[in-house]
Chains A and B, each alone.
Chain A
Amino acid sequence: DTAVSQTPKYLVTQMGNDKSIKCEQNLGHDTMYWYKQDSKKFLKIMFSYNNKELIINETVPNRFSPKSPDKAHLNLHINSLELGDSAVYFCASSQSLGDQPQHFGDGTRLSIL
């Protein structure tokens, strides 16, 4: 069983489009995260949610909107995609707020044409 699963694994789309990435965890964790890994492989936190409540919102364009329908899911919706959004997006989860370690999904590679 995959602990943290993301779909799709690959996403190729054109500038200006709107797309969503889904994340689900079956670990019973309370906290979920989105990270962005750029072309130089640098990983940076974007958002974190605890019990469906937004906790961390780093300096991310408001074109990015996370949504957590329940504790097990944290989706990422991106409006008006730009070339600079091309990256690998990782979802992660942890048992509770501030708890470690975090468990990561396999990532979604987003390519903007």
Chain B
Amino acid sequence: AQSVTQPDIHITVSEGASLELRCNYSYGATPYLFWYVQSPGQGLQLLLKYFSGDTLVQGIKGFEAEFKRSQSSFNLRKPSVHWSDAAEYFCAVGAGQAGTALIFGKGTTLSVSS
């Protein structure tokens, strides 16, 4: 069965420090992979996506993620975190097949300290 694991429930990073949020997935074929961000009281905003091709994908707000098939991972990174990045981050997998919706991880809460 498809699944997504985000091992870190809560991460605190100092402003200006680098960030890496981990995501591992379980899926039989080549997955469609996503990172979404949810600010308090808001909906989900797509940060970036991987469908195929270059395994390092760039997203909005200075985020990037790297797809590693051998590790079944799709970790999110940012070189320098800003206080406004504090939010909930969700990794998701979509099979891209008819009728399949997104399978989400349980999310990682990012806090940014000054």
Contact = CB atoms under 8 A, between A and B. Distances in A.
Interface of A: 4, 33, 35, 40-45, 48, 50, 55-56, 90, 97-107
B107 A101 contact: no
B101 A42 contact: no
A98 B99 contact: yes
B94 A97 contact: no
A41 B51 contact: no
B42 interface: yes
B70 interface: no
B7 interface: no
B102 A45 contact: yes
Contact of B34 (A48, A100, A107): A100
Interface residues on chain B, size class: 20 to 34
Contacts, number: 64
Contacts of A56: 99-101
Contacts of A103: 46
B85 interface: no
B16 interface: no
Given A97-B99, A98-B97, A42 B104 contact: yes
B101 A33 contact: yes
Contacts of A45: 101-103
Contacts of A101: 34, 46, 49, 94
16 contacts: A42-B106, A42-B107, A43-B44, A43-B104, A45-B103, A48-B99, A55-B98, A56-B99, A56-B101, A90-B43, A100-B51, A100-B94, A102-B102, A104-B45, A105-B43, A106-B43
Leading 3 A-B pairs by shortest Cβ distance: A45-B101, A106-B43, A43-B104
